[in-house]
């Protein structure tokens, strides 16, 4: 189904946003706080003319302990946006999650007992907001939140925390949904936005108040992709250069660069998802920054199940190159902004330690994590977005050519339609 005409025009420049009220909801105590990333109250600091602003980092998340693995996998395999299993999703998904839980628990135990993605996401969001308070005082204070799709802090709990902190719920206020997937996919950013839209509808929209667009609700905008931002490219390039410098000079120029990204089912790719093209754009931008001095390939990891996925697979590529005598390779996790199981276990323990048999010439670059160049880039992206007055990028308004999801349509129309609220203030 094609988007209705107003959607494609909604993601346009607008002029201003309104400050959030400092009042708290009288019944805020009914909401659970245990799983939410808690930001300081909106009443705690003086606001700029357009502040305070909630900056909500969105990502898939990961279990912080091995006890959380089962619930994490259950949510993951229940998400048809990420892993489409057809009409039997509600039956097959729980079965796969249950079968895989013991194995995945062992993997998390081997990387320290849980994923570090929450730690790094909260750090990145907090540090970015510190920079924004200085560079964008008119939208200050900037309140950091982290909303995960499949692990704590879940989107539902973070939305309740926003309300409890004085955003929305009749108070108005501005929030930015900032995807931490640099390259857009309906399976990742799209899924997170579907979840955010769902809880907005339940907590502030028609299911909560009877009104689809109640007065005083949070005014949302979205940073939905940033695959070739110069700061992102520079952070990756510097990390690659540091790793290349560890090779002997006579071998350095012949090292092959393997940019590894999370794969997608071909059913999603063939629907017209932009992810493969945007990942390739990031790779090419990084290679340009490096002067195109090295041979390189874009490869794909983390395939699950028997259906066809985007390839070539990272593990197969490393094994095949090793057989051909190419033993100097650098793996670059190009679609990840911090360490998690895909880097610490899959790349480090499976690909390097097993597939490459621990060969000293096969290495992985450091993940972005607390990289100050990367965090500065996040702040630059956020500041430009706030100054633009845009509700979302023009690309977000265009559905995949093969998309038939009514939920996707409604979600896109909602976020694009936020432009009228930003413009009205």
Catalogue the active-site residues.
60, 76, 82, 149-150, 262, 339, 342, 346
| Burial class of residue 1 (count of CB atoms within 10 Å of its CB; 0-12, 13-18, 19+) | exposed
Measured CA to CA, the distance from residue 32 to residue 160 in angstroms comes to 8
Structure tokens at 418: 């936020």
* DSSP string computed for 218-244: -EEEEE---TT-HHHHHHHHHHHHHHH
Compute and round to an integer the Cα radius of gyration of the chain. 22
Both tokens assigned to 130: 């510190």
Other CB atoms within 10 Å distance of the CB of residue 67: 12
Task: Count other C-beta atoms under 10 Å from residue 327's C-beta.
Answer: 17
Query: What gap in Å lies between CA 345 and CA 264, rounded to an integer?
Result: 19
Q: Of 382, 387, 395, whose CA–CA distance to 422 is shortest?
A: 387
CB 174 within 8 Å of CB 218: yes
Contact assessment for residue 251 and residue 328, using Cβ atoms and an 8 Å cutoff: yes
Of the candidates 254, 288, 259, which has an alpha carbon nearest to the alpha carbon of residue 276? 259
Q: What are phi and psi of 299, to 5 degrees?
A: -125, 170
Secondary structure class of 333 (helix, strand, coil): strand
What is d(CA 82, CA 62) in angstroms, rounded to the nearest whole number? 15
Q: Please answer whether residues 151 and 61 qualify as being in contact, where contact means their C-beta atoms are separated by less than 8 angstroms.
A: yes
Q: Which two tokens stand for residue 43?
A: 């009443």
> Cα–Cα distance between 186 and 28 in angstroms, integer?
33
Burial of 289 (0-12, 13-18, 19+ CB in 10 A): middle
Q: Which of 292, 293, 178, 297 is nearest to 229 (CA)?
A: 178
């Amino acid at each position: 189904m094609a988007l209705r005409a107003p959607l494609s025009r909604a993601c346009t420049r607008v002029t201003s946003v309104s400050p959030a009220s400092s009042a708290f909801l009288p019944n805020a105590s009914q909401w659970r706080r245990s799983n939410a990333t808690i930001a300081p109250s909106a009443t705690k600091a003086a606001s700029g003319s357009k502040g305070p602003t909630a900056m909500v980092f969105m990502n898939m998340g990961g279990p912080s302990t091995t006890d959380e693995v089962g619930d994490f996998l259950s949510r993951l395999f229940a998400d048809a946006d990420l892993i489409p299993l057809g009409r039997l999703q509600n039956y097959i998904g729980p079965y796969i999650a249950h079968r895989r839980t013991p194995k995945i628990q062992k993997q998390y135990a081997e990387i320290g007992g849980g994923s570090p993605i929450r730690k790094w996401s909260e750090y990145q969001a907090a540090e970015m907001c510190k920079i924004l308070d200085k560079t964008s005082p008119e939208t200050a204070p900037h309140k950091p939140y982290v909303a995960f799709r499949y692990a704590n802090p879940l989107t539902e709990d973070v939305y309740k925390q926003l309300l409890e902190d004085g955003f929305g719920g009749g108070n108005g206020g501005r929030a930015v949904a900032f995807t931490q997937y640099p390259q857009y996919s309906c399976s990742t950013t799209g899924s997170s936005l579907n979840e955010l839209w769902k809880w907005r509808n339940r907590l502030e929209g028609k299911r909560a108040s009877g009104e689809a667009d109640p007065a005083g609700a949070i005014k949302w905008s979205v940073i939905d992709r940033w695959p070739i931002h110069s700061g992102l490219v520079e952070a990756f390039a510097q990390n690659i250069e540091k790793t290349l410098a560890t090779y002997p000079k006579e071998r350095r120029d012949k090292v092959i660069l393997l940019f590894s990204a999370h794969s997608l089912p071909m059913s999603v790719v063939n629907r017209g998802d932009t992810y493969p093209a945007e990942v390739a754009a990031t790779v090419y931008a990084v290679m340009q920054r490096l002067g195109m001095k090295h041979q390189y390939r874009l490869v794909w990891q983390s395939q699950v199940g028997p259906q066809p996925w985007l390839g070539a697979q990272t593990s197969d590529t490393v094994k095949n190159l090793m057989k051909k005598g190419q033993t100097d390779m650098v793996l670059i996790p190009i679609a990840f902004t911090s360490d998690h199981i895909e880097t610490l276990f899959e790349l480090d323990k499976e690909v390097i330690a097993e597939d490459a048999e621990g060969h000293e010439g096969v290495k992985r670059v450091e993940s972005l994590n607390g990289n100050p160049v990367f965090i500065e880039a996040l702040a630059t992206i956020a500041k430009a977005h706030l100054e633009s007055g845009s509700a979302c990028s023009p690309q977000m308004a265009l559905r995949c050519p093969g998309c038939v999801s009514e939920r996707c349509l409604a979600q896109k129309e909602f976020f694009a339609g936020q432009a009228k609220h930003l413009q009205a203030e």
